[in-house]
Amino acid sequence: MTMEDLLEEVVGEIVDEFDHEEPLAQPVAGGGIRVHGRMPIDELDELLGETLPEGDWDTVGGLILDALGHVPEVGEAVVVAGRRFGVEQVVGRRITRVRIGARRDGR
């Protein structure tokens, strides 16, 4: 464990010149999109062309944490606004990668 890892557990993500920034969202073969857990909900709303429920969260990870009520394990999922949000990666207590499926209600 590095000093940066320890600090990130206390204060959150630290971005420096050595970090490789991956895109916050990317399409997935077979439908849906893969997003980073820190993606802001308002950006996801814009990307999806719809408004997700509002709450005491600002990010996709926060939405999932609130919906589940606990820090999820890889493979857990929740359906929000007719879409499946599947957790693909968790680092510590942070959700870092989520796959969002197409709407299940056909809208």
| CATH value at residue 70 | 3.30.465.10
Domain range enclosing 71? 22-100
| pLDDT at 24 (0 to 100) | 81
| Phi and psi at residue 37, to the nearest 5° | -60, -25
Instruction: Report which of 106, 88, 101 is spatially closest to residue 28, judged by C-alpha positions.
Output: 101
| pLDDT at 68 (0 to 100) | 96
In a domain, 8, yes or no: no
Per-residue pLDDT of the chain (107 residues; tens, 9 = 90+): 676 666 666 666 666 655 556 678 888 887 889 999 999 999 999 999 999 988 999 999 999 999 999 999 999 999 999 999 999 999 999 999 999 998 766 55
